[in-house]
Amino acid sequence: MRQATDLSSFQEHIRNLQAEINEGLRTLSLADRPDYLYTPVKYVLKGTGKRLRPILVHLVGETFSADPEDLLHAGLAVELLHNFTLVHDDIMDADSTRHGQPTVHEKWDESTAILAGDGIYALGQLLISRVKINTLQAIQAFNIATLMVCEGQAYDKEFEHDHNISLDQYFTMIEKKTGWLIGLCAEIGGILGDQNEEVRSHLRSYGLNLGKVFQIQDDILEVYGNEKSMGKSLGSDLVAGKQTVLTVLARELFPAEWAGYWQKIQQLEIDKALSELRGYLEEKKILQRAKELVDTYNERAREDLKSALGERRHILMEFTDMVVNRKK
């Protein structure tokens, strides 16, 4: 059984990494003008994200004794990439709240948000190019992951209001949209730790599987979460007609009744719709099935860690537990 002091030490290390990453974002060298670009960029970067992705870069890289400065640059780069996707996704999904504050397009307008997202992405490219070990490999992995995330978002938009999407198609979408960025974070830790392709492949697979866990949890929290603690609006996926693990499972498990029920749900005010949907998902054991999928991909992620790290996987197992048990 894990000693309490070990868990306490891990949590302290995570807090220290969050503080280091937040300080790195705060002290990025940014111009003041043009105000139209840099004010919203600074606004995004002062948000209170969990910083799970750059933390993963650090934890994997530390396992292989990677250069701390390289890890900081790469960690900031993937956090900027993540924020770039959020700014643009919020426009496409018409979300009004992110990280406990109004989204950029809500506070300013869509044109401002598009440009701010572009600027944030460019800053990420500049940072990833500063790593000293395996620079080209790191940049290539960064850009491959970016393209995969864009493909995932394209599927997300294509699948809206499409009532023929299968569970396999859903998993293709979330592997690209969510899994590849987390896979990138694990892989970059291996790249900066100068690991071979076999180890990096296992690390990437770990991130892909953990990303599936993360997205299934997000789909559940979209219906069952607390808007205040999550820092973003609930139910927007329902309004947008997006494919989530809950709606896809409901359609596959109960095809005869789901279409009519879904139409009825969409006619209700969002709070009432969420309440009705929660009852249905629990009664039909759809929520239970979604949680079983979390367990499946969690186990696969752990097997990947075993293959990549062997006996050195302890701290990444703690990180995996933290992600699996998150409430926001």
CA distance 258 to 235: 18
Question: For the residues 291-314, what does the mean pLDDT come to?
Answer: 96
Q: Quick one: which of 174, 210, 175 has its CA closest to 296?
A: 210
Domain boundaries, the chain: 4-324
Question: For the residues 253-271, what does the mean pLDDT come to?
Answer: 88
**Residue 229 binned pLDDT confidence (cut-offs 50, 70, 90):** low
List of E strands, 74-205: 97-98, 101-102
CATH superfamily of 4-324: Farnesyl Diphosphate Synthase (1.10.600.10)
Residue 5 has pLDDT above 50, yes or no: no
What are the tens digits of pLDDT across the range 137-169? 999 999 999 999 999 999 999 999 898 999 999
Burial of residue 132 (CB within 10 Å: 0-12, 13-18, 19+) is: exposed
Residue 172 has pLDDT above 60, yes or no: yes
Assign 97 to helix, strand or coil: strand
Mean pLDDT, the chain, whole residue set? 92
Share of the chain above pLDDT 70, in %: 95
CA distances from 78 to 17, 32, 85, 238 (A): 14, 23, 11, 29
